[in-house]
Structures are given as C-alpha cells and as structure tokens.
Structure 1
Amino acid sequence: MYITNGQPLFSFTCYDTTINRTGNQSPVEKLVLDDGRLLFTAGSTTYGYELWISDGTLTGTHIVKDINPGTASSYASNPVKLGHIVYFAADDGIHGKELWQTDGTASNTFMVKDIEPGSQSSFISNIIACNNLLYFLAQPLNAPAVLWTSDGTSPGTHMVPNGSFPSAGVVANSPFSCNGKVYFLGSDSVNGDELWVSNGTAAGTYLLKDINPGKASTAIYNVLGLAGKVYFVAYDAVTGNNLYYTDGTDTGTHMMGGLPPGGVSGIDMVYNGRLYFTCATAATGKELWSTDGTVMGTHLVADINPGPAGSDPKGLYPYRGKLYFSAKTTANGRELWVTNDSAAGTKMVIDINKAGTMNSDPQIWAEFEGLLFFNAIENTTQSQVYYTDGTDTGTHMIRPGSIAYSPVSRNELGIVAKGKLFFNADYKNYAAISPELWSLQDSVINPNAIGNIMYDNKSIIYPNPNNGHFTINTGTDDFMGTARIYDVTGKLIQTSRVEGRKQEIQLKAPAKAMYLLELQNDAGGTSTSTLLVE
C-alpha cells in the first residue's frame, strides 16, 4: 500500500487487451499453480475458449496452448491439481472431449488418454483428486456415466470396477472426496440411486447403504468430513432432506438426531470443529445451525429473521475467527452478516443497500491483505467490489481513483495469486469490453493499470477491535514511517516506529476505549484509522 497525499493507493489492472476485446466469454474456473501463477479458462475471438495463465502482469497473461487450433474451442474445463500437474477435460477437435494435463507450459500440455477412441467424446466431467489419484466420470455414446480413476498416465487410467460385478463399471454421479475415500451416487437395478464408496479397486467399491430401501432412489449431496466421520444430505420422497453421517460402513451410517425431519437444506462448511448447515423449522424457517456431531452439541445458531420466514443464510467464509455470510431479513433484505456460533454474536455487519428492503446480495470472494473482499449491490442493479475489516465503518466500495465507476464484479469468485486478487468484471467506461480478468494489488502501482483503486484514508489494522496488541499492515516492504496513537481528546498516548510491510504494536497499559491512529511515512504522507480497545 502506498500513501500519497494522505491516500492509500491500490493498483488495479484489466487484462482485456490480452484476452478478448469484444467477445462475451469471461474467465472462469480459476486455479493457482505451485509457482503462484493463475491458471484459468477464457474465450477469445482469436483462439476460441481455451486454457490461459497469468502471473499478474499484462505481458505475463497468455494462452497456455491452442488445444483446438484456430478460432475453434477446446472448451477446457474442470481443472484439478494433483501434485504439480493440473488435469482437465478438453476437446482438441480430433479425439472429442477427453482427459488432459498441463504444468502451465505448451510443451507439457497434452491428452492423457483417448478413453473413447477416435472422434467420439468420452464426455469427461466431475474430476476430483483423492489419495494421489484422479477420479472422474466418463460417458460413452448412448451409455450412462461410469466412474474412472487415473494416476496421470495412460496405462494408469481405467474404469473403476464394480465390486459386485467386477467386469462392469459403476454407474455414478456427483463424486466427492472425503476422508481418503470417494463417495458418490451409484446406481444399480436392485437399489436405485444410493450412496456408494470407492478406493479405486473392485474390493473397495461397493454400495454403502440403501438409505431409501428397494428400487427407490436417494439424492446425495454436500459431503463433508468432521472428526473422522462423513456427513452428507440425503433426500427421499417420504421425509425430504435429512442430515446423515457415516463411518464408512452400513451399520455406521445413520440419520442425525435432534433435527426436524426433512428440514436440512444443505451443508455449508466445517469450521473450528463444527459442521455448519441450514435447516428449516416451522417456527424459524430456514436458518443457520451447527453441530459437533452429537445431539447435545447441535443447535440453532440464531433466528436471524424472527418468525417462520427464515433468513436463508448463504456463502459462509471464515475471517478473523468468525464466519461471514449473507442473510435476508424482512427489515433489511439480503446483507452481510457475521457470527461466532452464538445468537448474541450473530449480527448484521452493514446494510449496504439502504433502499428499504432491497438486497445488496453480498458474495464473499477471499481474504486479501488482512481484508475480506466481496461483491454487493448498492442502490443500483449492478454489483460492485467491496472490502471489509469486519466492522460497519470499515466496509467500503472500491473504485478507480480518477474514474467515477467501480468495476462490476461477476458471480465467479475472486482468487489470490502472485500477491494480487484476481476477479472478473465489466467496466462501464469501456462499453465494448466483455467480462474480463482484473486484478487488485497493494504493493506496486502498475503503469498499465486503468486507474488506481483507493481505499478510504485508513491504514489496515488487525485485529480491530483488539486488547491493545495489534498489527499495522502498510502493504509495502519498503515502508518507513511513524505511528502515533491519540485518545479521543487529542492527547498523544504513544509513538512507535513502523518499518516494512507489517509492524506489531503493543499499547502500554491500554484502557478500553476508542483511539485514533495516525500513520505517517517519512515523506510526509499520512493515513488515519480508528482503533478500538476492548
């Protein structure tokens, strides 16, 4: 972060001139390589829809390989990293859609195996990694999708044999990797669609439990592990959606007790030894719940929208020891909320869209340089880029310093790579530009940037509130300056030297109160922030 005339500046770059000036295929399916570069899929008028890579600079953003040469598209998709290699599905125009691999270079980007020989596709999908192996679905012409596995080589790529019928494949859907095994929705003529498990061998691939007995099927989704067990949501036509857990055996697979039948709508995440999920009751509607895996340890976190309407919490993200998410209330619409797993500690962070009950519909991206970034709507129909330090006063929209519009962020979430936050956006002042790849960085003012994104004139302090011990993030390794802390009367409490990107400060005998922190670099530029000790 540079401080110039009292303003912290951030560099903001659009890569539209590199990828696609006039098309409408935005970058999606982003993945970070071992060396920190960003691998992503994107469409261009020159190459069609292909695999791209970026080191966070315009010159370092380029196509990896034109897999389907010319303007035709390979439709590279579903990239998954296994070891140092990324595997994905692509169509080179000759072999159909098959399994490919890349290390980010053109020379080492090639097809792993032509599963369905010739031009016919095997329609690779749902690629996942588990225990140093790839698992995916392949679907030959006029046949159901079956489960395959691969060690990344052609000889090591084969159909997973059915434990009951070793010569046949397992008809599968929606594989999940959890606790060292692959769980999926398997199908046979006896049990319908039910929960199966596999370790890639015939003996280790079997029906785990016939949850909906007989030929009737069960829908399985949201598989997550907690304390050695696997939790998932299962649906049947009699009771609806319910939370289940399994230890990997038939007898160890059960419905979670203490919850209303059919009320569980989805599992969100595991955090601090607890499983967070949404559940609806007649009294509260759909709200946020959590469990430690026991009936006694399962509870409603908070009735955010009092009464039966529910708040429909979405998109949980951990930040500074708490969970941030979006929730909808009758009074404020869908806004940014935070919880510490208690009713008292669950509150709205800020009402961004203050037009009555209109929604700001925040979607959280990532933590970057001590701040939480997300997109939201403020009194318009267009989504903008925001950051927060977890407080109302520390939540702001960011925009280029010399231009009146912020980028309009897209639903694809941001990702941090090479010291930059990458995301997709349109830009109002460039009407011909389709959704493209943008980056935000805090250490170098890029001469190719469209403009500088400016935070308010506050330095980054965390945690805030705190107990008198906190860190100042200047955002640049060569910062040299001084931090001065004043009380609310203007009395100077403490002076500390600040050098480098991050500096820890310990107040001497701090009292619980609000303070003003002034950060001044040796060139005279200043930034001020509020500091709360509690």
Structure 2
Amino acid sequence: MKAQNRMTGGWRVAGLMGAAVTLLLAGCGGGGGGSETVVEAPPSSYTVAGTLTGLMPGTELVARDVTPGSSLPSLTLTENGRFQFDGLLYPNESYDIELLASNPAVSDGENRGQSPVMQRCVLQGMSAEGVAEGDADALGNLQIHCSGLFFLFDNQGLPVVSDGNPEGTRSLNVNEELFSGFFLSEGGVLFVTTGNNERHLWFSDGTPSGTQRVAGKNGELLDQLGWSWRTVGNRFYFTNNGLLWVAQGGSAMKVEGPEPGGVVASGLGGMASAGDWLYVISENQVLAINEGGQPLVLLGPDEQPFNASSCGMEGTGDQLYLTCHQGSMEGSWRLDAGESTVRKISSNSSFNNFHAVGALTFFSGYLPAYGRDLWVTDGTESGTFLFSTPNPDPAGSNPTNFRVKGNALFVRATDGVANKIWKFSVVGKTVSLSGPVGSGVESLALHGDSVFFSAPVSPGKPQVWASDGTPGGTYVVKTINPDGAAWPYALESVGDWLFFSAKQDDNGYAAWRTDGTEAGTVMLSPELCEDGAEVWAKVGDTVYYVMFNDEDHSLWKTDGTAQHTTKIAEWKGAADEI
C-alpha cells in the first residue's frame, strides 16, 4: 500500500456554471423596424480544470470526489502541467474533493537519510470549502501545488518540519523530546516522544495545527507505550499497556486476537516483520498478522501451536527466523512469509543478524570452538552451516556491518589482527569470496558497486577508502587531513554522491561528498561543527543535512556543489525560535 497524504475539503457548487451562452432576442417596435438586444444566459455546467505544480518524480496524485453518488470521475495525475476532469459540475450539487498524493519511494540500496519524505498537495487560490458562486474563471484555473516535507528535531530534541525553505521550517509545537524516528503513515507521519516518564505516540500532517497525540478510536489515551514498535506498509504497530495496537494516520485501534472479540497481549518477545506480515509473540505463541485479517497462530512441525516462550525473532526480506533458547523448541527456525508452519534449520540457537542474499541467508552464529563467525543457510537443516572462519582463534571473527547489494554481501570482520572487509558473491547457491580489504575498518557504506569505508592509512590516521571487494580495486579516495586523522563517519549514499563527515584539520567536522574520485571529493561548506554532519533527507535533487554542535544544530541544503550549499535554519539555546 502506498503511503499517502490526504487533503479533504468540501466544494458546494451553487448557481449555474459554465461557458456563457449568448441569445439574440428580437425586440418589438413600430415601423416594422426592430433592434436586437443581447442577453447572456447564466451558465448551465462547468468543466473543472487547472494546473498542477511540484509533483515529485515517480509519484502520483489522485483527486476524487467522495460525495455519495457523485458523477465526477476520479482523476489520476502523474506529471505536472494542465489537467481537466472528465465530468461536469452542475448547479446546486455538493462536492467533497479529496487529494491523495503518494510519497516518493526509496530505491533498493539507496539510503536517503534519517527522515522519510512526505508529499503534501494543497489547493491554492480557492477555498477548499464554501460556495463556488459560479465563478467560471476560478473553477477553470484551479491551482494544486505539491511539496516534499521532511522531519527533524531541534537542539532540545523537539520535533520540527521543513519544506527546505527558511519560512517553511517550523516547530510542530510538541513540547516533548523525540524518542524515535519518523514513520510514514496515511496522510502524514507518526513519531514517539518521551515526557514525564511516559512515551506518547503522535501524528502530524506536516502542520503545527495538524499535529496531535494519537488516541484510540474510543478516545482512549495511549500513555503506556512499550519499548518496541514496527511498521509494515502504512501500518504502525506498537504496544500500549501490554496490548498490541495498530495506527494508521491519526487514529489507533487494538489488534484483534485469533478468537473473535479477543485482543493480542504482547510480551517481551518483541515484533518482527517479513514481507507484508507482522509477527508478534503473544502468550507463548507466534501470531502472524496481515492487513484486514484475523491473526494466524504459527504451527510447529507437529502441527500444534509453536511454543515460543524463550524465542527471539528477526525478519529479512520475506523470511522470518526464530531463535529459541530452551525447552522442546530449542534451536533456530525459519518461516517464509505467508506460510503457517515453521521448520527447523539448526539445533544451535546462538544466531542473529540475518541478511538474505539471493537464494541464501547469511548470519552471525556462535560455536564454543570457533567463537562468533559467519554462517549461511538455504532454509534447510542440511543446508545450514558455518561458512567462514577468518580468525582461527576461538574468539571468532565477529562479523558485523552486513551490507547487501544485489547478489553481493559485504561484511566487516576480524582476522585476529584487525577489522577488514570480505565480499561474498552469490549465484544460485554458490558463493565466491574475495578480500579481505582494508585494515582497521570502521564506518562503511555501499555506493554504486563499491563499498566505502573509514580506515587508517597509517596508525591513528583514518581516511576515506573505496573498494570493489578486491585488493587491487581498493584505494584511498582522498587524503582529507594530510597532517592527521580525518575521522570520517556518517557515510551515506544519496543519489549520485556519497556524503560523509570528516575533519580537514583539528578544528572541527565539515560535510563532504564524493563520487569515488579524488577530484570529485569536495567539502560542501567551510563552516565547521563539533559533532559532525549527517544527511537527513533527499527531496528531488536536493540533499538536506544537519550539522551538530553541543549547543546548537543547523540545517543545510545542497545539490552536491559547494556554490549551491546554503544554511536554511539554525537553533541556538533553549529559548531560541527557528
């Protein structure tokens, strides 16, 4: 389901509307002569038309009349420019026009920052409610404008919305510290705050007046949110006072249990998602929940409810993995999304960090003789085994920072000397290994077909590197700090560039971008900060990033060039306004 932004307003069309009709009436008079009097009859119908601007590439806007029995067909727009409805408006009819805009999708392998982008479309130049009064010119020249909104927080941790302009960057008037990220939902975003030792769920349509606490459908206050939540499509699942709830837009309701009229009690097992399904451990059972249906109870090999009393869960792609640590179900299990029976893949329960790559899934596993190393499974017990032990010491290689690009997996692990990067390429169920590359690897990110990472060129002097996974294809992108450590971090692939934060000297961090070449590695602004810069959002071709200091934050935008990098907003001190 697409995340959508909705704007609803009532149009009541009164009077006669349409193109004027000219009638020629013969006047009566003596002398056989006469004169013609021109009378303009009132219009009898009107075709609705206008102009759309600002619609983001790859998205669509649906304008529809939600009045029961309406004869005005819905209109779907996929590009900017002139538009016209097929139907007509007639006298004394009420209309309730709703605008639903899809949000830009994040393509595979491209991370667009901390905030999702919400597209908001509004009708301009004409009230969304009221009487049209037969104004043919206005109704024939409707103006719909769309803009991309993203969300962040100020230096006090309070939520803020921005459309990328100084005047459009404003507080949401929520005086509680942000506790989570922002999650797209129907018509806006959801986020969690903390205040007075409570966690609260909020909904915002991108305006301060449209930002409010989410309540149950019967007005219940939700002030006992648990520590875990999960998004599946437009649905935001969370626990409140020990029960499972789901929010879509600004309202929430309890999730029904497997039995009609029941509810789902959610314990400490947490939640996981795979495909379009949510999985939650409730009263020692695993429930599979999909939109619009009763929860399903997962079964074990004996066709009885799977006992998940000591289990944890992880999802990757369309697969769910359960690791159970005691009892008859001890071991690791797999379920493909949409199925109801789990199958065992190993008696070992010390698995985590699952990542699907083609037909295989890689993960971190532990054995006393080898420590924690890289394992692989094809979903069967016979096809689950220890794959790589680059460190012969029982401490293991401790694989972390799994990064998947198509049918390739990059992993950071230690060979007992230093953290390095290995690349695993999957064709069918065959895996080829290349590497290791780098030494003392820290931050890493995929960009294009390469992995970029931070590693020292000499002891204590890390710089930015790039690699295709082979020693011959590994190089320093640019020596940013020739006299010391650049300490690059917050590497993020956005569009044509890889953005990161680094020190050119010891005076502070600056925001940088690179295309993988020395000449294409550029500092975006000479302004420095104490705690680094992080990419926050991408709207169209513009990237927004935040520079962090102990006492203040600032929001910037760039097209990837230094000359078009500007500061949008700055927050200083507890009492500062944007």
Name the TM-score, length of structure 1 as normaliser.
0.59
Residue 280 of structure 1 corresponds to 414
Distance 2:505 2:258 in 1: 51
1:322 is matched with which residue?
450
Match in the other structure for 1:101:
246
Q: CA deviation at 1:169?
A: 2.7
Distance in 2 between residues matched to 1:333 and 1:457, nearest whole Å: 29
Name 1:182's counterpart in structure 2.
320
How many Å separate the matches in 1 of 2:258 and 2:483? 55
Larger mean Cα displacement after TM superposition, 331-340 or 226-235: 331-340
Q: What residue in structure 1 maps to residue 150 of structure 2?
A: none
Whether 1:344 aligns to 2:472 is yes
8 Å Cα contact 2:350/2:366 also seen in 1:
yes
Per the alignment, residue 523 of structure 1 pairs with none
- Cα pair 1:224 1:231 within 8 Å, conserved: yes
Q: Choose which of 86, 107, 111 in structure 1 pairs with 2:254.
A: 111
**Residue 360 (structure 1) aligns with:** 487
Structure 1 window deviating more from structure 2 (334-343 vs 73-82): it is 73-82
Give the Cα separation in 2 of the matches to 1:419 and 1:99: 39
Deviation at 1:220, TM superposition (A): 0.8
Look up the match of 2:180: 28
SS at match of 1:50: strand
1:128/1:202 CA distance change after superposition, 3 Å: closer
CA distance in 2, matches of 1:394, 1:171: 54
1:192-250, CA deviations, whole angstroms, 9 ceiling, x for partnerless residues? Answer: 4x221124799721322124xxxxxx421221222312222211222112222222111
Q: Secondary structure at the residue paired with 1:109?
A: strand
Tell me, in whole angstroms, the C-alpha distance in 1 between the residues paired with 2:172 and 2:530. Answer: 18
Aligned to 2:18: none
Instruction: Find the partner of 1:414 among 509, 533, 536.
Output: 536
CA distance in 1 between partners of 2:224 and 2:403 (Å) = 35
1:130 corresponds in structure 2 to: 274
In the alignment, does 2:361 pair up with 1:222?
no
Q: Identity percentage over the alignment?
A: 13
Q: Note the C-alpha offset of 1:289.
A: 0.6
Q: Displacement, 1:420?
A: 6.2
- Superposed, 1:232-247 pairs within 5 Å as 232-247=363-378
Q: Alpha-carbon deviation of 1:288?
A: 0.4
Partner of residue 78, structure 1: 229
Instruction: Please state how far the C-alpha of 1:114 moved relative to its aligned partner.
Output: 7.2
Displacement of 1:20: 4.9
8 Å contact kept, 1:43–1:50? no
Amino acid of the residue matched to residue 456 of structure 1? A
Give the match for residue 374 of structure 1. Answer: 500
CA distance in 2, matches of 1:62, 1:300: 50
Give the 3 Å change call, closer, same or farther, for CA 247–414 of structure 1 in structure 2: same
Instruction: In structure 2, give the amino acid aligned to 1:100.
Output: W
**CA offsets 1:104-152 (integer angstroms, 9 cap, x no match):** x32x4333247999999624664333243211344x5xxxx65332113
Q: Deviations over 1:325-347 (max 9, x none)?
A: 33345435444321122223222
CA deviation after TM superposition for structure 1 residue 264, in Å: 4.7
Tell me if the contact between 1:366 and 1:415 (Cα under 8 Å) persists in the aligned partners: no
Q: Please list, as runs of the form range in 1=range in 2, the aligned pairs for 1:384-423 lying within 5 A after superposition.
A: 385-396=511-522, 398=524, 414-416=536-538
Equivalent pair of 2:171/2:208 in contact (CA under 8 Å):
no
For 1:17, the equivalent position in structure 2 comes to: 171
Structure 2 counterpart of 1:151:
290
Change (3 A) 1:169 1:295: closer
1:496-515: CA deviation from partner (whole Å, max 9, x where unpaired): xxxxxxxxxxxxxxxxxxxx
Q: Is the 8 A contact 1:80 1:127 kept in 2?
A: no
Report the Cα offset of residue 251 of structure 1.
1.5
- What is the alpha-carbon distance in structure 1 between the residues aligned to residue 235 and residue 436 of structure 2? 39
1:65 counterpart = 2:214: yes
Equivalent in the alignment of 1:508: none
Offset from partner CA, 1:373-397 (integer Å, 9 cap, x none): 3344565697654433334454455
Structure 1 gaps, min length 5 = 1-9, 212-217, 306-310, 444-453, 460-534
Deviation at 1:362?
0.5
SS in 2 for 1:344: helix
Unaligned runs of 5+ in 2: 1-163, 566-578
Compare relative contact order (CA 8 Å, sep 6+) and give the higher one, 1 or 2.
Answer: 1
How far apart are 1:172 and its partner, in Å?
5.2
Counterpart amino acid of residue 291 in structure 2: G
1:253 and 1:182 map into 2 onto residues whose CA distance is 15
The number of residue pairs the alignment matches comes to: 394
- CA–CA distance in structure 2, aligned partners of residues 372 and 12 of structure 1: 25
Contact 2:464 2:478 (C-alpha < 8 Å) held by counterparts: yes
User: Amino acid of the residue matched to residue 297 of structure 1?
Assistant: S
**Compared with structure 1, are the counterparts of its residues 360 and 257 closer, same or farther at alpha carbon in structure 2 (3 Å cutoff)?**
closer
Partner of 2:50: none
Work out whether residues 332 and 345 of structure 2, in 8 Å CA contact, stay in contact via their aligned partners in 1: yes
Deviations 1:390-411 (A, max 9, x none): 3445445555x9xx66595688
Deviations 1:7-26 (A, max 9, x none): xxx856896632556x6x34
Alpha-carbon contact 1:19-1:42 (below 8 Å) kept: no
Q: Report how far residue 65 of structure 1 moved.
A: 2.2
CA shift digits 1:45-92 (9 cap, x unpaired):
89964234465xx6587346256988956468533123xx2222142x
1:152-197, Cα deviation, whole Å (9 max, x unpaired): 35x62254333347145323544233463311212342574x2211
Structure 2 distance, partners of 1:186, 1:54, is 41
| SS of structure 2 residue aligned to 1:327 | strand
Contact 2:281 2:308 in 1 (8 A): no
Structure 2: how far apart are the matches of 1:331 and 1:196?
44
Q: 1:13 to 1:74 in 2, by over 3 A?
A: farther
1:299 is matched with 434
Distance 1:384 1:376 in 2: 6
Cα shift at 1:31: 3.5
Any residues of structure 2 matched to 1:500-511 within 5 Å, and which?
Answer: none
Query: CA–CA distance in 1 between the matches of 2:546 and 2:180?
Result: 8
Partner Cα separation in structure 2 for residue 228 and residue 378 of structure 1: 43
> CA, structure 1 residues 60+203, in 2 after alignment: closer, same or farther (shift >3 Å)?
closer
The Cα RMSD (Å) is 4.5
Aligned match of 2:192: 41
**SS where residue 292 of structure 1 aligns?**
strand
* Aligned equivalent of 2:236: 87
- Length-normalised TM-score, structure 2: 0.56
Contact 1:234 1:241 in 2 (8 A): yes
Larger radius of gyration: 2
